[in-house]
Amino acid sequence: MLLCVDCLQFSGVVALQTSEFVDLKAALSLRTRLAVVRVVLMAVIAVMLNAFAGWSPAPGWWAAYAVLQYAIIKTPTNEAPGERTILYSLTLASYTIAGFPAWWLWTHLGDLGAVTGTMYLCGMLVQLVVSSLGSRTLFWFSAGPLVAYLIAIPPLAYGAERWRDGLIASSCATMFVLYMTMLWVGQQRALLALEQSRKAAVAARRDAEAASQAKTDFLAVMSHELRTPMNAVLGAAELLGRSRLTAAQRDNLTLIADGGAVLMHVLNDVLDLAKIEAGKLSMDPSNVDVPDFFRRCASLWAPRANDKGLQFLTHIAPNMPRHLVFDEVRLSQIVFNLLSNAVKFTETGTVSLTFEAEDVGEGQMRLRISVTDTGVGITPEVQARLFRAFEQADGTISRRFGGTGLGLSISLRLAQMMGGDIRVSSVPNLGSTFELTLTCAKGEARATRLAYSSIDDDNVVGFVRILVAEDNPANQKVIGLFLNPIGAHVTIVENGQEALEALAVEPFDLVLMDMQMPVMDGLEATRRLRAGDSRNRHVPVLALTANVLESHRKACFEAGMNGHIAKPIDARALLSEVFTALADGAPALAPDVPASLAS
At 412-445, the pLDDT tens digits run 988 999 999 999 999 998 999 999 999 999 988 6
Compute the distance between CA of residue 116 and CA of residue 104 in angstroms, rounded to an integer.
Answer: 11
Q: Vertex 330, ends 325 and 334: CA angle to 5°?
A: 115
Choosing among 3.30.565.10, 3.40.50.80, 3.10.129.10, 3.40.50.300, the CATH entry for 286-442 is: 3.30.565.10
Compute the distance between CA of residue 255 and CA of residue 54 in angstroms, rounded to an integer.
Answer: 105
On whether the CB atoms of residues 236 and 291 are closer than 8 A, the answer is no
Please determine, for residue 447, whether its predicted confidence score (pLDDT) is greater than 70: no
Please determine, for residue 550, whether its predicted confidence score (pLDDT) is greater than 80: no
The topology (CATH level 3) of 465-597 is: Rossmann fold (3.40.50)
Helix (H, G, I), strand (E, B) or coil at 510: strand
Compute the distance between CA of residue 107 and CA of residue 113 in angstroms, rounded to an integer.
Answer: 8
CA distances to 314, 494, 522, 555, 563 from 499, in Å:
49, 8, 9, 19, 17
Q: Which of 47-56, 264-273, 404-413 has the lowest mean pLDDT?
A: 264-273
Q: What sections of 242-327 are H helices per DSSP?
A: 247-277, 290-307
At 314-345, the pLDDT tens digits run 999 999 999 999 998 889 889 988 998 899 88
- Can you give the pLDDT at residue 280? 67
Amino acid present at 339: L
Rounded to a whole number, what is the largest CA-CA distance in the chain?
126
Please determine, for residue 366, whether its predicted confidence score (pLDDT) is greater than 90: yes
pTM for the whole structure: 0.47
At 368-381, the pLDDT tens digits run 999 999 998 888 88
On whether the CB atoms of residues 422 and 410 are closer than 8 A, the answer is no
Q: What are the E-state strand segments in 78-129? A: none
Residue 62, Cα to own-chain centre: how many angstroms?
54
On whether the CB atoms of residues 32 and 16 are closer than 8 A, the answer is no
Helix (H, G, I), strand (E, B) or coil at 503: helix
Assess whether the region 286-442 and the region 465-597 belong to the same CATH fold: no
Paired residues of 326 in beta bridges: 286
At 106-140, the pLDDT tens digits run 888 888 888 888 998 988 888 777 766 556 777 88
pLDDT band at 16 (very low <50, low <70, confident <90, very high): very low
At 134-170, the pLDDT tens digits run 567 778 888 899 999 999 999 998 888 888 888 898 8
Beta strands 563-566 and 541-545 are parallel
pLDDT band at 248 (very low <50, low <70, confident <90, very high): confident
pLDDT band at 597 (very low <50, low <70, confident <90, very high): very low
Closest CA to 568 of 170, 152, 267: 267
pLDDT band at 357 (very low <50, low <70, confident <90, very high): very high
Compute the distance between CA of residue 493 and CA of residue 302 in angstroms, rounded to an integer.
Answer: 42
What residue spans define the domains of the chain?
Answer: 2-158, 219-277, 286-442, 465-597
Average pLDDT of the residues in 238-246 = 80
Average pLDDT of the residues in 570-587 = 74
Average pLDDT of the residues in 386-392 = 66
Does residue 212 or residue 182 have the better pLDDT? 182
pLDDT band at 15 (very low <50, low <70, confident <90, very high): very low
For the chain, what percent of residues have pLDDT higher than 70? 81
